[in-house]
Amino acid sequence: MCIQLFPNPPPRTRYAAIAELLSSLGEPAYRLSQLVRAVHRTGTTEYAQLSALPRRVRSSLIEAFGPTFADLRPIARQSGDQVEKTLFENDNGARIETVLARYRTGWTSLCLSTQVGCGLGCTFCATGAVGLVRNLSADEICDQVLYHQQQGPVDSIAFMGMGEALANPHTFPALDVLTHPDYFGLSPRRITVSTVGFAPGLQRLVDSHPQVNVTLSVHSPFPAERSTLIPLEGRFPLASCLAILDQHVAETRRKTYLAYLLIDGVNDSPAHATALASLVNSRDQPRLFHVSVIPYNDAVGVTPAYRRPSAARVAEFLRTLRSANVRATQRQQFGGALDAACGQLHAQYLSSAPAPAADRRRLPITAG
């Protein structure tokens, strides 16, 4: 397991570096938001094509930062019913995936990645089977949103793709950029961060971005069993994360989500549901905790023979929670056939097929 405890201050974001350059050139303060608006509106990330900016500014940007605004480029896309999975690559060949889901109401939700792989080793997750290749930079996290916004509106964002967002120190400057009114201008209430329980990061998140929605992955109410599913339990027990959330909901009155993965014959018994309900009902504000039940998705590279429970078993689990007055719903999931649902992303690190060529810029679109 690889654990990083925010050892160094993260490097400047591209946005801060450009602001500094523009100021040193004596450009007016509005130039940066003009640049960002032009990138979002035109669908290009090539500085040379941003004709809204004076030529001298474009030349200085290219000289300082190279030809393009984005570090990640999309190299493959798969579309299925209500879902689109995009594979991105950076210049060093690191790959990640994002998933855009379209609800029937027209609402769009983007599930983005924060790490190439993940070092926390949860036994049910394809991203965990990859291991941690590296953290994404704040710019790479934001580039995923930028790319999708260039294609159409993105109504909400979930940090639920590849990686543990709160173990990556660059998640915090990325949230600053995404919510900054001059850059992405997203409401923090439309952003959700999911964590498996990286307690120092969780504390930092609720302190620095209290309006961002939080989901804590629980998956077992029993500590010994939880640590066989989520090794991080041994380092940061669930109880310590729930204590942080208790304080957070008391201060903000914001609803908080507890994700519960259901694996057939492992953690889906009535005894598990009853113990989970007791855990929720023992909070000071139980009505502010909402349980999202996620039936297991087949995940490449996962060694134990886990299986998805039957629909009847899932319904029974939900019934037990609700009859104990716990608010609980099944998470709507999309893209299982494309390996695009929760826990299935691995950006071709676990495929036998060779990785795509780094310079392939066209997007093959395949039906799923």
Ligand X SMILES: C[S@@+](CC[C@H](N)C(=O)[O-])C[C@H]1O[C@@H](n2cnc3c(N)ncnc32)[C@H](O)[C@@H]1O
Residue type, position 205, single letter? L
Any contact of residue 125 with ligand SF4 (CB under 6 A)? yes
> Minimum CB separation from ligand SF4 for residue 345, in Å?
8
Q: Can you read off the two tokens belonging to residue 22? A: 């523009």
Mark the segment that binds ligand SF4 (CB under 6 A) among 20-28, 101-109, 119-127, 199-207. Answer: 119-127
> Minimum CB separation from ligand SF4 for residue 294, in Å?
11
Size of the site for ligand SF4 (CB under 6 A): 9
| 262 membership: H or E segment, kind and range | strand 256-262
Any contact of residue 118 with ligand SF4 (CB under 6 A)? yes
342 is catalytic: yes
Task: Kindly identify the residues of this chain, within the stretch 166-225, that bind ligand SF4 according to CB under 6 A.
Answer: 196
Which CB, 62 or 300, lies closer to ligand X? Answer: 300
Q: Smallest Cα–Cα separation from 164: which of 207, 205, 106?
A: 205
Mark the segment that binds ligand X (CB under 6 A) among 65-73, 189-197, 231-239, 266-274. Answer: 189-197
> Minimum CB separation from ligand SF4 for residue 10, in Å?
20
Q: Smallest Cα–Cα separation from 232: which of 194, 269, 195, 182?
A: 195
Calculate the CA 337 to chain-centre distance: 20
164 is catalytic: no
> Minimum CB separation from ligand SF4 for residue 163, in Å?
5
Binder among 259, 291, 314, 338 for ligand X (CB under 6 A): 259
| Cα–Cα distances in angstroms (integers) from residue 265 to residues 30, 56, 226, 325, 342, in the given order | 58, 65, 14, 24, 20
Per-residue binding string, ligand X, 298-317, x by CB under 6 A, is: -x------------------
Calculate the CA 244 to chain-centre distance: 20
The sign of the CA dihedral 299, 300, 306, 307 is positive
Q: Can you read off the two tokens belonging to residue 321? A: 């929670």
Instruction: Indicate which residue of 111, 142, 241, 342 is catalytic.
Output: 342
| Cα–Cα distances in angstroms (integers) from residue 133 to residues 70, 115, 228, 282, 295, in the given order | 20, 8, 23, 39, 27
Binder among 122, 133, 206, 238 for ligand SF4 (CB under 6 A): 122
CA–CA gap between residue 207 and residue 166 (Å, rounded): 13
Task: Kindly identify the residues of this chain, within the stretch 131-160, that bind ligand X according to CB under 6 A.
Answer: 160
| Interacting residues with ligand SF4 (CB under 6 A) | 118, 120, 122, 125, 127-128, 163-164, 196
As annotated, the active-site residues are 97, 342
